[in-house]
Structure 1
Amino acid sequence: MMKGLVMLIGILAGYFSATSADDGFATFYTIYNPSACYGNDTPLGLIAAVSHEIWDNGNACGRRYRVTCTGGTNNGVPHPCIDGETVEVEVVDFCPGCPGAFDLSKDAFAAIADTDAGYIGIEYDQI
């Protein structure tokens, strides 16, 4: 009985965590120094700047997000997503002019989509 209950709880937890992703957009950028979170000591690699909705008055610094490409946003690259790929990024900066949620490092963007697209639809969730 207990084993069945634990299994049911695991299945439900997986269902609710899988359905809690938010929709947004992502672009990419190549220079993050200095950053709002770390000044000139910005970490390298899979990082991102975030829009006002996620920034949380700077409290987003250091938070990690899982980002998945969901589709193209222009006619240039109609199918930019790399199927099934997600990327985990760390928030290092604020992007007040971002048209969506994330301004990813180029490496992070390239992990989930064709960089020729430049602007993609995404799903994201905090991890």
Structure 2
Amino acid sequence: MGRSILVFSVVVVFLFSVAYATPGIATFYTTYTPSACYGGTQEGVMIAAASDTLWDNGRVCGKYFTVKCTGARNPVPHPCTGKSVTVKVVDHCAGGCASTLDLSGEAFAQIANPVAGIINIEYIEH
């Protein structure tokens, strides 16, 4: 009985988090170090820079976001791959940033055609 309740609770939490994904915009970049969060330390390639909206004086450093493409923001037809990607925030996408999350090129390519350059997304913080 206790195990059934645990499994049910996990499923409900998962469904609740999926239902409340936050809409945003994603772009991509190719320069990964130094970063605002980790200086010259490499943090892999599934990474992102956070916009001023998410930055919160660096409190978002090291947090993980699962990101999914939801559609085009320019004339590139059907840019989304249908996949999602989990990225670690390692940098700040400073003022004037065109996106909510500026993904690494590798992360962007997992969820969308890089030719698109900018896409609509939904993201969930973990």
Question: Is the TM-score greater than 0.5?
Answer: yes
2:29 counterpart of 1:40: no
Match in the other structure for 2:73:
73
- The number of aligned residues is 125
Kindly report which structure 2 residues correspond to 1:1-127, keeping only aligned pairs within 5 A, or say none: 5-6=5-6, 8-75=8-75, 77-83=76-82, 85-96=83-94, 97-127=96-126
Aligned counterparts of 2:7 and 2:63: Cα–Cα separation in 1: 30
Unaligned runs of 5+ in 2: none
Q: Distance in 2 between matches of 1:99 and 1:40?
A: 25
CA contact (8 A) 2:18 2:124 kept: no
Structure 1, unaligned stretches of length 5 or more? none
- Name the TM-score, length of structure 2 as normaliser: 0.89
TM-score normalized with structure 1 length: 0.89
Identity of aligned residues (%): 47
Q: Distance in 2 between the 1:101 and 1:33 partners?
A: 20
CA RMSD of aligned residues (A): 1.7
Q: Contact 1:42–1:92 (CA<8 Å) still a contact in 2?
A: no
Query: Which moved further from structure 2: 51-60 or 3-12?
Result: 3-12
Query: Is residue 84–residue 111 contact of structure 2 (8 Å, CA) maintained in 1?
Result: yes
**Letter in structure 2 aligned against 1:123:** E
- 1:13 counterpart letter in structure 2: V
**1:122 CA drift (Å):** 0.3
